Structure 1
Amino acid sequence: MVNKIQAYQPVLLSILRIAVGLVIFSFGMAKIFHFHAGTFMPPTGSLPWIAGLFELVFGFLFLVGFQTRIAAFLLSGLMAAAYFISHFPKSIFPPENGGMAAAVLCFVFLYFVTSGAGPLSVDAKLNKA
């Protein structure tokens, strides 16, 4: 039974990458193009806007699985910086400071630095060629 479940691991890794990539890419779209931005629209050139550029560009690369390890490394650092710059000064505890997403995404991206993109990715297609 465990072997049958483990057979799905590579595909589920790709699905996790795609889902997380869509989330981070959507934050970039909101900050840069104000597409479904809600109430948060940072001024052009501000630190959150620059973070939005990272989320847009590297989020897209992560989403499609191209240069995934590099994109994941940069996004992991971005999420760590977001946590310590924006959330940590309010409180050390994520439930109090609102930094749950940044904290979790930091480690999810760090995992992809070591695991790679999975089989459903541009990286996998390029490595087969």
Structure 2
Amino acid sequence: MNSLFEKLSSALSPVILLISRVVIGYLILLHGLQKLTGDMPLLSLMGVGGLIETVGGALIILGLFTRASAFLLAGQMTVAYLMFHASAATFFNPIANQGEPAVLFAMAFLFIFVTGAGKLSLDAKIAK
């Protein structure tokens, strides 16, 4: 039974990584576009964050410069959590301080940074 799951996992791994990368990239791209299409000055902290999220999200979707983009986005989400959500009273409770999306995004981008874009990406095509 265990080898069945290992075989299934190995067979599905490239497709699941592609789907995960596209969904995570799309979600962060939407967050970036939300910031950029408002009245936010582009050179403000939120404007720069929106630019990083938009460009980084598009690169994650394409699987292009994936590790660098994921590393930058993980850092941005960590800074977002520390600056806008965490306080001494709620640091370890992202539900209470509404920082759960930032934490989840940071961990998702760290996962992508460690695994890379996978076989079904522009990074893999360029490497060949």
Bigger Cα displacement from structure 2, 25-34 vs 75-84:
25-34
Aligned equivalent of 1:61: 59
Aligned equivalent of 1:83: 81
**TM-score normalised by length of structure 2:** 0.88
Aligned equivalent of 2:15: 11
In the TM superposition, what is the alpha-carbon distance from 1:63 to its structure 2 partner?
Answer: 1.3
Aligned equivalent of 1:123: 123
Identity between Structure 1 and Structure 2 (%): 38
Amino acid at match of 1:114: V
In the TM superposition, what is the alpha-carbon distance from 1:5 to its structure 2 partner?
Answer: 3.2
Q: Distance in 1 between matches of 2:34 and 2:102?
A: 16
Paired residue total: 122
Unaligned runs of 5+ in 1: 35-40
Aligned equivalent of 1:38: none
Amino acid at match of 2:8: K
Q: Distance in 1 between matches of 2:42 and 2:63?
A: 28
Q: Distance in 2 between matches of 1:94 and 1:43?
A: 28
In the TM superposition, what is the alpha-carbon distance from 1:49 to its structure 2 partner?
Answer: 1.4
In the TM superposition, what is the alpha-carbon distance from 1:6 to its structure 2 partner?
Answer: 2.6
Unaligned runs of 5+ in 2: none
Aligned equivalent of 2:110: 110
In the TM superposition, what is the alpha-carbon distance from 1:85 to its structure 2 partner?
Answer: 0.3
Q: Distance in 1 between matches of 2:17 and 2:125?
A: 16
Aligned equivalent of 1:37: none
Give the direction of change, closer, same or farther, for the CA distance of 1:7–1:42 in structure 2 (3 Å limit): same
**TM-score normalised by length of structure 1:** 0.87
Bigger Cα displacement from structure 2, 17-26 vs 45-54:
45-54
Give runs of aligned pairs for residues 44-55 of structure 1, distance below 5 A: 44-55=42-53
